[in-house]
Chain A
Amino acid sequence: MGRYVLRRILWMPLVLFVLVAASFFLIRLAPGGPFSAERSVSPEILANMNAKYHLDAPWWEQFARYVGGVLQGDLGPSFKFKDRTVNQILANGIGPTVMLGAIATVLALAIGLVAGTIGAVKQNSVFDYGSMSVATFGMSVPNYVTGPILVLVFALTWKAVPVSGFDVSFALWPMFVVAGMYVLWRGAEWAKSGLGSVTFARESACFWLLVLLLASCAAVTTLVGSPKLILPSVTLALPFASRIARLMRAGMLEVIGQDYVRTARAKGLSETTVVVRHALKGGILPVVSYLGPAIAGVLTGSLVVEKIFNIPGIGREFVEAALSRDYFLVLGIVVLDGALLVSFNLVVDVVYGFLDPRIRYD
């Protein structure tokens, strides 16, 4: 396991290098350049500017300079914001983007897992048909359509939430309250039967459900405290919640039909225990494998959502940078998103190994 993780970490730089190389040359294939948009620049000034940023150097020298800079942690200057480096822009933008992405991911997981599980346990019920219809809608309609519609309905017509903008106020105390209540609830049992039963709970899906519950508490209270984030997170979360609900429902249906679930019932366990302890762990696996692509989707989805809701994250910067051929800013965001994605894929693979003991890392 340790060796596997180490090997994956050692591979990361190579993956990122290929990513940087591909993006470096692809963006240069796009017509125009960083200074094409500026009006009536005399050829001398243009030549000077190109010389300053080494844009007149041969391609291999430019590439070597860039990679050299990245290796030293310098993602280069921005052409558009001449007073700021790419590092500074990313440092400012990463907060809102990660905030939004994290809230959307937690919401998508919480809603999707719960809806999918209930849909599978109560198959062919009104809830099942209802939630799956909503999920099909959520998966098929792109977020640049749902975003404005949500704004129109909830912000402009109903005026329940602000239209756009960004400010965050954390309120994490409910998370601790819930954690404390859980300890009070289970503590008596732990005290009676020793800490063995804690690992017992951990081995089944209960532990992970608790983690998700706490994360959902944090997400919801943060949203309550900062209503400007509600619409963007919902817009961003909707397609993923839908996809997760469908995957979870399919996974649970498959598992509930398995022999070992019948064995669990034959032992006299309650239906809740059968579902939570015996079915959930197997049923959640398709969702876990989807989480890697989902994180990628949250990152790309936030490009659009940040633009719609005017959130000062790196997604919005990315769109503007690509339009104005701000080469280094685009590359910087690609490197950052790529690194995030590669790390999350590793985390997902490790979690998968925790859930399915038959997975071997070698």
Chain B
Amino acid sequence: MADDTPLLRLDKLSTWFRTDRGPVKAVDGVDLEVRAGESVGVVGESGSGKSVTMLSVMRLVPSPPAQHQGRVLWKGEDVFGWNARRVRKFRGRECAMIFQDPMTSLNPYLKIGLQLTESIELHLGLGHHAARGRAAEMLGRVGIAMPEQRLDDYPHQFSGGMRQRVMIAMALSCDPQLLIADEPTTALDVTIQAQILELIDAQRKAAGTGLVLITHSLGVVAGMCDRTVVMYAGRVVEEGRTEDVFASPRMPYTIGLLKSVPRLDVRETRLVPVPGTPPDPQRLPSGCPFRVRCPWAEDRCAAERPELREVQAPGAARHRIACHVDVTTTPPRHDPASFGKVNP
């Protein structure tokens, strides 16, 4: 693999579902890159298409009813062109996924041992005993005590946090090159969340695994990800190094998101929500989908859809936004009180 070929590249990926009320575009022309060993955070409101994007990468969105356009390139190979056998090798072996809800993502009728060993036997070609050994080793690595005995337990004998640890062990058991974590802590107790995130981070760093972390928590992204991708209405609206996106957000939506999160270092008690509600994917506004909630919106935003464009970032790092307006020089035009002051 040439050094400059990204591990995963999404090239104008669109995914839409046929429904009774017409097609619904859940993912709309997403461009994204993940390099080997890199961690990328994908942030956005519920329904912004983060999960569907990543499920499309795994080809786990059932199609039909879903349809795809654009390309998903795994080390330059088009994932949508693969046959079923190649896809199965990709899933689990090259790219593994951790799902949101560990309470429902493990099969309640099968022992943990079987659920762990089946992919090890399949992908690493180990015999039953060796696979069990590997499974126990993985369980121990994610911090489960007495792993050999726990292999014979069923999921309901584990707590939520422990089940997510099992999921992590399962995902990492075949040494994938990329780990996709779809809101891995959303369903967990707050006290457990940090532990699980640290575990994912430590494990993937030790193995040099790339990470795509889907989340709606900005704090998590700030702590864990090299790069941040902000999604809105199925599109990427801002993308750059995490420090750039957080220090100088350039897309009004990102600015709104950051304003709506409590900060410990600022003595301001009022949180400012992003006004309005996420748009109905069947009736997206023309042009920029965020313009109806955007304080900077001007006539051009309704007429023309903003494409991702490069903006200046410190150290010549890549920072891209999908916005017509330069928020660093233009003051907001509408109702700035409800949106808060422009940063900085």
Contact = CB atoms under 8 A, between A and B. Distances in A.
A355 interface: yes
B104 interface: yes
Interface string A69-105: 0000000000000000000000000000000000000
Nearest to A355: B109
Most interface-central of B89, B118, B156 (chain A CB within 10 A): B118
Nearest to B132: A196
Interface string A249-280: 00000000011111111111111010001100
A194 interface: yes
B178 to A, nearest CB: 12
Given A193-B127, A194-B128, A259-B104, A266 B60 contact: yes
Contact of A268 (B101, B119, B132, B167): B119
Given A193-B129, A196-B132, A358-B154, A266 B114 contact: no
Contact of B107 (A192, A193, A263, A355): A263
Interface stretch (B41-49, B92-100, B142-150, B216-224): B92-100
B109 A263 contact: no
Interface in A231-255: none
Instruction: Give the size category of A's interface with B.
Output: 20 to 34
Q: Which of the listed residues A260, A261, A278 has the most CB atoms from chain B within 10 Å of its own CB?
A: A260
B106 A268 contact: no
B57 to A, nearest CB: 11
B106 A196 contact: no
B91 interface: yes
B7 to A, nearest CB: 17
B88 A270 contact: yes
A269 B110 contact: no
B91 to A, nearest CB: 4
A200 interface: yes
Contacts of B123: 268
Contact of A258 (B92, B104, B128): B104
B129 A268 contact: no
Contact of B156 (A203, A270, A357): A357
Interface in B189-246: none
B129 A194 contact: yes
Contacts, number: 96
Interface residues of B, number: 36
A357 B58 CA distance: 31
Interface string B154-167: 10100000000001
Contact of B93 (A268, A270, A277, A281): A268
B128 A200 contact: yes
Given A194-B128, A197-B128, A266 B97 contact: yes
Contact of A193 (B110, B128, B167): B128
A356 B108 CA distance: 8
Contacts of A281: 107, 109-110
A358 B108 contact: yes
Given A196-B132, A268-B92, A203 B110 contact: yes
Contact of A356 (B89, B109, B127, B129): B109
Contact of A260 (B60, B105, B119): B105
A268 B174 CA distance: 11
Interface string B70-89: 00000000000000100111
B111 interface: yes
B105 to A, nearest CB: 5
B55 to A, nearest CB: 8
B122 A269 contact: yes
Contact of A265 (B60, B117, B118, B167): B60
Contacts of B129: 193-194, 196
A262 B99 contact: yes
A278 B114 CA distance: 11
Given A204-B114, A263-B107, A282-B107, 9 more contacts: A262-B99, A266-B91, A267-B91, A281-B110, A282-B109, A356-B109, A357-B109, A357-B156, A358-B108
Instruction: Report, nearest first, the 6 A-B pairs whose CB atoms are least far apart.
Output: A268-B92, A193-B128, A193-B127, A268-B91, A259-B104, A281-B109
